[in-house]
Amino acid sequence: MTESKGVRILALETSCDETAAAVVEDGRRILSNVVWSQIDLHALYGGVVPEIASRAHVEACDRVVDEALRQAGLGWDGIDALAVTYGPGLVGALLTGVSCMKGLAYALGKPLVPVNHIEGHIAANYLSHEELSPPFLCLVVSGGHSHLVEVRDWTEYVCIGQTHDDAAGESFDKAARVLGLPYPGGPRIDALAEEGNPTYLPLPEPHTDGRYDYSFSGLKTAFLNAVHQMEQRGQTLPKADLAASFRHAVVEQLVGKAVLAARETNAPAMALAGGVSANRELRRRMTEACAAEGIPLYLPRLELCGDNGAMIAAAAYPHCRKGEFAPLTLNAVPGLRLV
Ligand code: KG4
Ligand code: ZN
């Protein structure tokens, strides 16, 4: 690797319904970030159809990788290392990306860094805040995960809290479906909630064994029952008020536990990560709560909250520096954990 021009990593992300590739320099500077979303393909079915996702990734991989190189203004000789998400995610979707990058690594003779998708979401913060470095506490909230992670060092993580059941994003998607909103529901609930009354429908506060753990399934069930009762009574659904009430309950739980953990563990800073970190109420409430506690807060740039290749390249960088490369026997690990 040539140090003078910085280390350039080309990463591919295909764990769910985005085919995304990017080139990032030294884990901090985005040279290109191409995201091809499959949402239109899945919206018809109300959720991601794994078979359709895998097929679409296969068709899009080459194109998206080429476009990332082109937008970075580089040829293959300008790339020092490759990186790919190998889990967690949908097995077929992950496999298409892993196979594509293994093929490129072999053909080009370049090292391949295997990246955990969750680590990628956390690293989106390094791309958003040049001055941020570990240690900090990170609330990771996506379609599949709700974790409180102590980021102790660049590649060292300790999970101090997690959901017992649904992930926060998953609960938003399910609540949206009950309100008849199209997939993906999280952003729709968020937009609708801006016009609604968050105290319209009081929802139960969940009980969890772990002090910093989460639970969203009780909330979801209470919400579904309330909506069904209204429908049975022939009532027109006050959708904005319902969306605002659900969002309020989820966000209060997320912020309450995260701030409690930050206080009790003397966290030097807090960050948000994952698709749900785009939620407007979460960003507002977390900003207020961290300001009240005197904890510096880092929010990922909006375009880096959802799945993208730049966050995977950023996460790959410290592993690349340590020479942590994958053999060509690398496989997809759908249930991969961060710690
Ligand atoms: O991180 P992500 O793009 O994919 C996973 O790794 O799961 O997260 C997707 C999730 C979906 O559940 C989506 O509904 C949710 O993030 N989401 C939101 C918002 N934007 C995306 N949830 C609430 N409010 C939003 N603004
Ligand atoms: Zn994700």
pLDDT 10s digits, 14-49: 999 999 999 999 999 999 999 999 999 998 898 899
Do 150 and 290 fall within a single domain? Answer: yes
Residues pairing with 140 in the sheet: 147, 273
Is 119 inside a domain boundary?
Answer: yes
Ligand 2 centroid distance, CA of 130 (Å): 22
State if pTM tops 0.85.
yes
| 334 within domain boundaries | no
For the stretch 150-174, pLDDT in tens is 999 999 999 999 999 999 999 999 9
Asked whether residue 332 is assigned to any structural domain, the reply reads no
Ligand 1 midpoint to CA 111 (Å):
31
Residues with Cβ within 6 A of ligand 1? 16, 121, 142-144, 169-170, 172-173, 184-187, 190, 274-276, 278-279, 306-307
**Nearest ligand 1 atom to alpha carbon 282:** 24
Q: Which of 106, 111, 86, 105 is nearest to 96 (CA)?
A: 86
Structural domain includes residue 37: yes
Residues bordering ligand 2, an ion, CB closer than 5 Å: 142, 307
170 and 293 belong to one structural domain: yes
Q: In this predicted structure, what is the pLDDT of residue 46?
A: 87
Asked whether residue 2 carries a pLDDT value surpassing 70, the answer given is: no
| H or E element in which residue 226 lies | helix 217-232
115: Cα within 13 Å, side-chain hemisphere: 37
Which amino acid residue places its CA nearest to atom 1 of ligand 1?
275
| Residues 22 and 157 reside in one and the same domain | no
Q: Are residues 25 and 70 in the same domain?
A: yes
By alpha-carbon position, which residue is closest to atom 3 of ligand 1? 306
Domain count, the chain: 2
CATH number at residue 300: 3.30.420.40
SS3 218: helix
CB 162 within 8 A of CB 328: no
Question: Is residue 144 within 8 Å of residue 120, measured between CB atoms?
Answer: no
Distance separating alpha carbons of residues 258 and 102, to the nearest angstrom:
38
Give yes or no: residues 240 and 97 share one domain.
no
Residues 111 and 172 in one domain: no
Are 100 and 173 members of one domain?
no
Are both 93 and 153 inside the same structural domain?
Answer: no
For residue 274, the ligand closest to its alpha carbon is 1
Query: Is 146 inside any structural domain?
Result: yes
**Pairing outcome for strands 18-25 and 112-116:** unpaired
In a domain, 155, yes or no: yes
Q: Are residues 236 and 216 in the same domain?
A: yes
DSSP classification of residue 214: B
Could you list the residue range(s) of the whole structural domain that residue 277 is in? Answer: 134-304
* Judgement on whether residues 186 and 280 belong to the same structural domain of the protein: yes
